[in-house]
Amino acid sequence: MTSVKEEEVLLNLQKRIGVKLMELRKKKGYTSHEDFALDHDIPRVQYWRIENGKTNLTLKSLVRLLSVHKLTMEEFFSNLPKESRKSS
């Protein structure tokens, strides 16, 4: 059973990962998460959930996304935003 604190840490990390993936997508020139998902054979709703920190993505999925951006896990996490954006 996870504590409330652990759950908050997980949710914060999911949001930070999502923000970083959104930044990477935009750097590739994609203004739409849907276009990016379609071009890289990723379910659109699933990718939206990842970018918005709404899902606990697997390492396999993260590695796949990072390969699209030609990043290692180390590179990705070394540049991860320190704080998540505020929830709306």
Residue 55 domain-assigned?
Answer: yes
**pTM, to two decimals:** 0.86
Residue 81 domain-assigned?
Answer: no
Residue 82 domain-assigned?
Answer: no
pLDDT, mean of residues 3-29? 94
Residue 85 domain-assigned?
Answer: no
In this structure, what is the dihedral angle of CA atoms 30, 34, 36, 42, given to the nearest 10 degrees? Answer: 170
Residue 17 pLDDT more than 80? Answer: yes
Residue ranges making up the domain that contains 37: 4-75
Per the structure, how many domains does the chain have? 1
Residue 62 pLDDT more than 70? Answer: yes
Residue 87 domain-assigned?
Answer: no
Residue 86 domain-assigned?
Answer: no
Q: Please answer whether residues 33 and 51 qualify as being in contact, where contact means their C-beta atoms are separated by less than 8 angstroms.
A: yes
Q: What is the pLDDT of residue 88?
A: 41
Crossing angle (nearest 10°) for helices 4-27 and 44-51: 110
pLDDT of 22-58, one tens digit each? 999 999 999 999 999 999 999 999 999 999 999 999 9
Please report which helix (H) or strand (E) contains residue 46, including its range.
helix 44-51
**What CATH number is associated with residue 45?**
1.10.260.40
Residue 26 domain-assigned?
Answer: yes
